[in-house]
Structure 1
Amino acid sequence: MGARDIGDIDGYYLHAVEAKAEKTITLSDYIVQANREAIHAGQPFGCAVVKRRMKGTADGYVVRDVRTDVRLMNRMRDMEEALKSVYADLWHDIDAKHREAA
């Protein structure tokens, strides 16, 4: 809490997380707060985890602004291309595992 808040949940890879469970949802406020906390926490990305009313946490939403999402997707693409160029078999195994889980 306070001016140098670093988020509500630790361990969400590469993210500062702002957790919300409120009657009235204001996504823009949550994202501004999450992005500010990412800077304070030294994380490249901020996101809000928003719990749905009358539902479990797993049925909630992870929300980030488009700018952050594009940076995340570009990072993922670059990392996958790097892995694929060095360890193609490992990349294919990981890709298959994640496609099966979808």
Structure 2
Amino acid sequence: MGNASKAKGTAWESALVSYFREHHNPEARRNVQMGAKDIGDIAGYYLHAVEAKAEKTITLADYIVQANREAVHAGEPFGCAVVKRRMKGAADAYVVRDLATDVRLMNRLRDMEAALKDASFDRWFDIDEGHREVAA
């Protein structure tokens, strides 16, 4: 990997960390690379190992294999790739995972919402209302 490619990747990871810190988790950070036991590029995206990709040629299958492997190494239940869109910033990136991973994530979300609704309907209602947004 040339220095220009490394700099581009580092800049993308830094942009994602900034976005996560502002919109998701103020503790998000770049990970130190671990070689064969790599744990993903970014820590702090809840329950995920994140593989950050800013490449001209997009190879989704490779990204997902890598993200899923790194999720295992990181002890996270889900892996995803956050792929840069050309000429766009972090908010417009693509979050990519395989369908099996996405179904596991949706099943967890469904089950946790049901548990919260059973434990405290008013709390569930307040949280649900706060997160209801129409996709623009």
Q: Report the Cα distance in structure 2 between the residues aligned to 1:24 and 1:92, rounded to whole angstroms.
A: 43
Number of aligned positions between the proteins: 102
Q: Report the Cα distance in structure 1 between the residues aligned to 2:76 and 2:112, rounded to whole angstroms.
A: 17
The aligned residue for residue 22 of structure 1 is 55
The aligned residue for residue 68 of structure 1 is 101
**Per-residue deviation at 1:24?**
0.4
Aligned structure 1 segments of 4 or more residues deviating by more than 2 angstroms: none
1:96 aligns with 2:129: yes
Matching residue within 109, 114, 123 for 1:81: 114
SS in 2 for 1:18: strand
The aligned residue for residue 12 of structure 1 is 45
Percent identity (aligned): 79
Q: Report the Cα distance in structure 2 between the residues aligned to 1:22 and 1:100, rounded to whole angstroms.
A: 31
TM-score by length of 1: 0.96
Q: Report the Cα distance in structure 2 between the residues aligned to 1:88 and 1:7, rounded to whole angstroms.
A: 36
TM-score by length of 2: 0.73
Q: Report the Cα distance in structure 2 between the residues aligned to 1:100 and 1:91, rounded to whole angstroms.
A: 16
> Which of structures 1 and 2 has the larger relative contact order (alpha carbons within 8 angstroms, sep 6+)?
1
**Per-residue deviation at 1:7?**
0.2
Task: Write the letter of the residue equivalent to 2:109.
Answer: M
Q: Report the Cα distance in structure 1 between the residues aligned to 2:43 and 2:52, rounded to whole angstroms.
A: 11
Task: Write the letter of the residue equivalent to 1:41.
Answer: A
**Per-residue deviation at 1:88?**
0.2
**Per-residue deviation at 1:100?**
4.2
- List alignment gaps of at least 5 residues for structure 1: none
